[in-house]
Amino acid sequence: MTQSTDLPDIHRIMNILPHRYPFLLVDRIVEFEPGVRIKGYKNVTINEPFFMGHFPGAPVMPGVLIIEAMAQTGGVLALSTREEPIGDNLIYFMGIDRARFRKPVIPGDQLLMECEVLKLRSRVCQIQARAYVDGELVAEAVLLSSLVEAAR
């Protein structure tokens, strides 16, 4: 497992992932074992732009964004594990299986995403992803993605 001083900080996350505000959904990596597993946080605040319309007066983080947060965390794992330069690759969804949402995620929650590699081949990655709030499972899915060369 990677030591805490070697964990990707937000600057490294932004070097790995192409996402930016308002779509970067990983704030911090807290555990990282290259090619095996990763844990990262998304701090959910009322300032998120999606809360203006989902749902006014009773804000709930959309399930698709919870999936995206898990996928981005898995993307840090998959792209950091490769020997090729990170900037030469992107990850695209190929499939989402067995997605389940157990509890709403609301402003003030800290979403902990845990991803474990099921398969990692040259261009395909399959990850078991789970999201927790205060130790309680709120969402899970098996994510299948493809690594592609970034357009220049």
Contact between 149 and 92 under an 8 Å Cβ cutoff? The reply is no
Q: Looking at 54, 82, 106, 146, which residue is catalytic?
A: 54
For residue 100, CA distances in Å to 7, 30, 83, 97, 138 come to 29, 24, 33, 9, 8
Q: Which tokens go with 97?
A: 């299986």
Q: Under a CB-based contact definition with an 8 Å cutoff, are residues 38 and 81 in contact?
A: no
Distance CA 109, CA 118 (A): 28
Active site residue 54: yes
Q: Are 62 and 48 in contact (CB under 8 A)?
A: no
d(CA 138, CA 106): 11
Amino acid identity, position 73: T
Catalytic center residues? 54
